[in-house]
Structure 1
Amino acid sequence: MTRLPTLYLSHGAPTLPIDPTLPSAEFASLSTQLPRPRAVLMLSAHWGTAQPVASTSDAPETIHDFYGFPRQLYEIQYPAPGAPDVARQVAALLGEHGIATATQPHGLDHGAWVPMLLLFPEADVPVAQLSIQPRMDPAHHFRVGRALRALKDEGVMVIGSGQITHNLRAADFSARPEDADPRVTEFTDWFESKLAARDIDALLDYRAQAPHGVLMHPTDEHLLPVFSALGAADDDFTLSIQSLGTYQRSLAMTNYVFGNA
């Protein structure tokens, strides 16, 4: 079986599937460049728990966990089958690495179903979700990814879903693309240079080392999934970057693929 890459996706606003000004087509383009997985394990910024929880739903519901958006968005359903076998394997792998993990049924929040809808619009790839731990640090999430490395040799694609910069207080929803805060690029350039150098220690310490790290992520639940995707990647991963632009002045969208050397 082909060894799969791991991914980190910036899932953007919930309106990504219905707003033609947002880069939904680029997700479809990315999908054509990826090997098809047997199943997906999704770590979304929008499901946080004190300890890891893996969803064992056979048919996860589509959770519309947002308010005040167009009715069309609430009518979207993503009826992909669940992957309870993957969830149980995830719990076992994490347990073997000393990370206590629970299992329970859980639906797909928009950080999970929005990118799945764009990557696999036929909803024919089984998906399990693993929660993140917002009160724990990048190193914890990296260890979670390390424990899950075996999955990518078994046809399971590990995908972290968040946002490469996520400061909603600094966002200006009337801003034009050319109004992007230059500090966004300073942060993403630093982050991507450390990814390219595979400087894991610096990345895990991004809040102290990255320019404007705390400004870009006042709380870091939208960045934590990237560390699990990194952890699950090979030590000598290849890096592919899909830059989708900066929206609302401070919200950058970039997708990373950690491939096999």
Structure 2
Amino acid sequence: AVAARLQAAGLPVGVDRARGLDHGAWVPLLLMYPQADIPVMQLSIQTEQGPAHHLALGRALAPLRDEGVLIIGSGSFTHNLGEFRKRRPEIDDPAPSWVVDFADWVHSAAIEGRIDDLVNYRRLAPHARDNHPTDEHFLPLFAALGAAGENARVERLHNSANYGVLRMDVYAFHAERRADVAA
């Protein structure tokens, strides 16, 4: 059903029934559902396709919400392991300004609904390349945001930093309530 939705949206699809979940999926699921009592399917990100593609992917999957499907975009709000290795920080070290500035910019853009700015974060966000030398750990955010549909309400559920340079922010993207759906 997921592959059919993606194909209908003109997005490339391949199915690998043998691949298991990677740590980006099983770590949050272990914390959220420790009994492992829900069915799970993982979509791989396509780094070369960029944020706009992943936003479109999420939008193609948005109708699944009405079928009771929870769509999780699990990545990393900041992810520069090269800087982490170079600094050798302690877990409770304060975040440097280049991490804080980036996280604050993304938060403001998300809360204010500046989707085009988020899609163009590489060009617009302060210190984007310092926080994400490559896109892959940030792209799940766009799939989750897209799955909430147009005019989604964005809510930050958690924000913190580990080792100063690894932000662990968590957001919920709430679909806009449609007038034709009873409460």
- Same fold flag (TM > 0.5): yes
Residue ranges of structure 2 left out of the alignment (5+ in a row)? 177-183
Amino acid at match of 1:258: F
Deviation at 1:220, TM superposition (A): 1.1
Partner Cα separation in structure 1 for residue 89 and residue 99 of structure 2 = 17
Partner Cα separation in structure 2 for residue 134 and residue 108 of structure 1 = 18
- Which of 222, 245, 248 does residue 160 from structure 2 map onto? 245
Deviation at 1:209, TM superposition (A): 0.2
Alignment correspondent of 2:111: 196
Deviation at 1:174, TM superposition (A): 3.4
Partner Cα separation in structure 2 for residue 179 and residue 192 of structure 1 = 19
Stretch deviating more after TM superposition (166-175 or 90-99): 166-175
Residue ranges of structure 1 left out of the alignment (5+ in a row)? 1-88
Structure 1 runs of 4+ off > 3 angstroms?
A: none
Alignment correspondent of 2:71: 158
Stretch deviating more after TM superposition (202-211 or 104-113): 104-113
Partner Cα separation in structure 2 for residue 213 and residue 176 of structure 1 = 22
Report Cα offsets for 1:197-238 as digits up to 9, x if no partner. Answer: 111110000000000011110001000010011111132222
Residue 112 (1) aligns with residue 43 (2): no
Alignment correspondent of 2:133: 218
Alignment correspondent of 2:180: none
Amino acid at match of 2:52: A
Q: For 1:256, what is the secondary structure of its paired residue?
A: strand
Partner Cα separation in structure 1 for residue 158 and residue 101 of structure 2 = 14
Partner Cα separation in structure 1 for residue 7 and residue 127 of structure 2 = 36
Amino acid at match of 1:150: P
- Which of 4, 14, 18 does residue 102 from structure 1 map onto? 14
Match runs of 1:1-261 below 5 Å: 89-105=1-17, 106-171=19-84, 172-261=87-176
Amino acid at match of 2:34: P
Amino acid at match of 2:83: A
Partner Cα separation in structure 2 for residue 260 and residue 235 of structure 1 = 8
Report Cα offsets for 1:3-51 as digits up to 9, x if no partner. Answer: xxxxxxxxxxxxxxxxxxxxxxxxxxxxxxxxxxxxxxxxxxxxxxxxx
Choose between structure 1 and 2: higher helix proportion.
2
Q: For 1:240, what is the secondary structure of its paired residue?
A: strand
Report Cα offsets for 1:36-77 as digits up to 9, x if no partner. Answer: xxxxxxxxxxxxxxxxxxxxxxxxxxxxxxxxxxxxxxxxxx
Please give the root-mean-square deviation of Cα atoms over the aligned residues, in Å.
1.3
Deviation at 1:176, TM superposition (A): 4.8
Report Cα offsets for 1:92-134 as digits up to 9, x if no partner. Answer: 0010011121112121111111100100111101000111101
Number of paired residues? 173
Amino acid at match of 2:107: E
Partner Cα separation in structure 1 for residue 153 and residue 50 of structure 2 = 25
Report % sequence identity.
46
Amino acid at match of 2:118: L
Is the Cα–Cα contact under 8 Å of residues 59 and 149 in structure 2 kept in the other structure?
Answer: no
Deviation at 1:242, TM superposition (A): 2.5
Deviation at 1:170, TM superposition (A): 1.1
